[in-house]
Amino acid sequence: MAALKHDGYDFSVGIPADTPIAQAERVVSAGKGIGSKENMKLIEDLAQAAGAAIGSSRPVAETLHYVPLNRYVGMSGQKFTGNLYIACGISGAKQHLKGIKDASTIVAINTNGNAPIFKNCDYGIIGDVHEILPLLADALGRGEKKEAPPMVKMKRPVVPKPEPIGPRYVCNGCGYEYIPELGDEDGDIAPGTLFENLPDDWVCPECAEEKDHFVKA
């Protein structure tokens, strides 16, 4: 957590745990990987130490009912656009990642080192949440927090864009842009694959439109 403090996060201040997700500067979110409902106490303790609101993945709210439905984060749920998002036991399904794409900093904690969340986070901890969360809460400080000032949005580091290697194509269905330098990781398309070399059965990763429904950008 020294890295987060170095990034400018002040853990002497905080927001109420029930702050609406869309208005929260920081969120500690629970996934199915936390186990039984009793382990929500670990989430609550870390949220208090981090000065954060409490969120969850969709299954934790919709299926397990650990938190109200208005606290799950994802494409069909709440969108988190604040600064710090700590994902605890969340694998990182595409639906969930859509809800945190505008987060400034993402911290992931999961026992599975191959979980998709680790490809989309700034800091990753491979380990058991039951062991890691109490340590993090201790490191951040479990004492009372001062009221946080109005949020100042932190900027994510700018990732250099790869040099173009060929034309880009845009989906007529949803506007998704295929970038050959990036490929389509979820569709097992390697970076550097030109559009004309995509398999005939490849479809838009956003809306499943067929390849022939794309036009050159």
What are the structure tokens assigned to 49, written together? 């130490």
pLDDT at residue 159 in the model? 58
CA distance 57 to 71: 8
Q: Supply 149's token pair.
A: 């000032």
Buried b (16+ CB within 10 A) or exposed e, 141-179: eeeebeebeeeeeeeeeeeeeeeeeeeebbbeeeebebb
Inter-residue contact 193 to 167 (CB < 8 Å):
no
For 44-59, the pLDDT digits (tens) are 999 999 999 999 999 9
**Confidence at residue 2, expressed as pLDDT on a 0 to 100 scale:** 82
Mean pLDDT over 188-207 rounds to: 93
Residue 182 pLDDT > 80: yes
**pLDDT at position 114:** 87
Phi, psi (5° rounding) for residue 60? -65, -35
Q: Is 130 exposed, middle or buried (0-12, 13-18, 19+ CB in 10 A)?
A: middle
pTM for the model stands at 0.75
The torsion region of residue 37 among left (phi > 0), alpha (psi -120 to 50) and beta comes to alpha
Q: Give all strands of the β-sheet with 53-56 in edge-to-edge order.
A: 53-56, 26-30, 84-88, 105-110, 123-126
Say if residue 186's pLDDT is above 90. no
pLDDT in tens, 112-150: 988 999 989 999 999 999 999 999 999 999 999 999 999
